[in-house]
Amino acid sequence: MAMTLNDDQTMLRDSARDFMASEAPVTHFRKFRDMGCKDGFSHDLWKQFAEMGFTGILIPEADGGMGMGHIEAGIVLEEIGRNLSPSPFLSTSVAAVEALKLADKGMRERWFPGILAGETVIGLAIDEGVKHRPEKIACKAERSGNGFKLSGHKQFVLQGTSSDMLIVAARTAGAAGETDGLTLFAVEKGAAGMSMEAARLVDSAMAAHVTLDGIQVDADAVIGEVDGGWSVLGKLLDAGRVGAAAEMVGVGSGAMDMTFEYLKTRKQFDRVIGEFQALQHRAAHLYGEMEGARSIVLKAQSLMDDGHAKAELYVAAAKAKAGLACNLAVREGVQMHGGIGMTDEYDIGLYMKRDRSLNEFFGDAYYHADRVATMNGY
């Protein structure tokens, strides 16, 4: 593939860039952070996402969606990252939709219309520890009547308290550490036996610690096959990973652009600091790292859309590379801003906080670097 966007994708990028800059800039993020919003995002903005067609990008045309791919979803996510626009787009319209595409017709008809309308939010109840280790899922799903009884704990469930449904990964067979025996369930909000504790993350996004105490679900709540949930979970996670990588490219690019502008205007010793060669070298290095991250993310998105056998490998590489490049961008940004970079008055620190959260979502850079090495036989 050509490592560039085609005309339609360029139009989508321009549209998403204008929309985020006007409707959900950093000032919008600050507003919802400072008001202590319990959801961490605007439901009115979520409906505007739907009006723009963003929420249905990955939903197949047969189900009423746009029938586009991960490249297009990534275009929107990059602009979300550039503006720190708070929304449930990554968890709901990207990761959850990827799993629901493998659900039966009844479940798709139950949840896709609400996502398309910007009225439904879906949380992802996957991780159970402080780090992302999906193969270590221990949450139990025991057969009960014509369905299952779910028991266990889930940590850092994105948009958990504001979700209408949780996709829960639970073990119907095997033991923690095994990939066989996992099953995914759609558990609706308010299910008897579910309790949540809201958690505000370092970037002010909202998540939840969820306890499942013998929740009863029918057999039709299963997404995919019983005991065969690892393949569905893999699709969900890879969609979330490449989506998070795209958003990190946006976060890193936003931080980089802000820093470069500061280098052009800040004066020290009667000279613009961007004239100092040491800072020019660091800026050039950062630009190259961000372009490298953008390229590998685009490659991973393309392989995902093509269903290529190496898509999983490239997604892992993209999440690792984007994580390292974005972290470099925010660290260099704070350092080149100097002392003011540590103050809340300047936006650069907000980008650093978002980078910290995105790096952990769906596995950090070191987790995925290890996966790349393993998949290459090292």
Note the pLDDT of residue 55: 98
Concatenate the DSSP letters of all residues of 340-359 into one string.
GGGSTTSTHHHHHHHHHHHH
Domains and CATH numbers, the chain: 7-120 (1.10.540.10), 124-228 (2.40.110.10), 230-375 (1.20.140.10)
How deeply is 376 buried, as exposed, middle or buried, from its count of CB atoms within 10 A (0-12, 13-18, 19+)? Answer: exposed
Contact predicate 163/123, CB 8 Å: yes
Name the phi and psi angles at 268, rounded to 5. -145, 135
pLDDT at residue 2, as a whole number: 63
Mean pLDDT of successive 10-residue stretches along the chain, which has 378 residues: 85 98 97 93 97 98 97 98 98 98 96 98 96 95 95 94 97 93 96 95 95 96 96 97 98 98 93 94 98 97 97 98 98 94 94 97 96 94
What the block records as the tokens of 307 is: 């269903």
User: Would you state the pLDDT for residue 4?
Assistant: 86
Q: Note the pLDDT of residue 1.
A: 59
- pLDDT tens for each residue of 195-227: 999 999 999 999 999 999 999 999 999 999 999
- Give the whole-angstrom CA distance, residue 215 versus residue 187: 9
Q: What is the pTM of this model?
A: 0.96
List the beta bridge partners of residue 197.
Answer: 209
Per the CB < 8 A criterion, the answer to whether 326 and 286 are in contact is no
pLDDT at 378: 87
DSSP state of 154: E
195/211 Cα distance (integer angstroms): 5
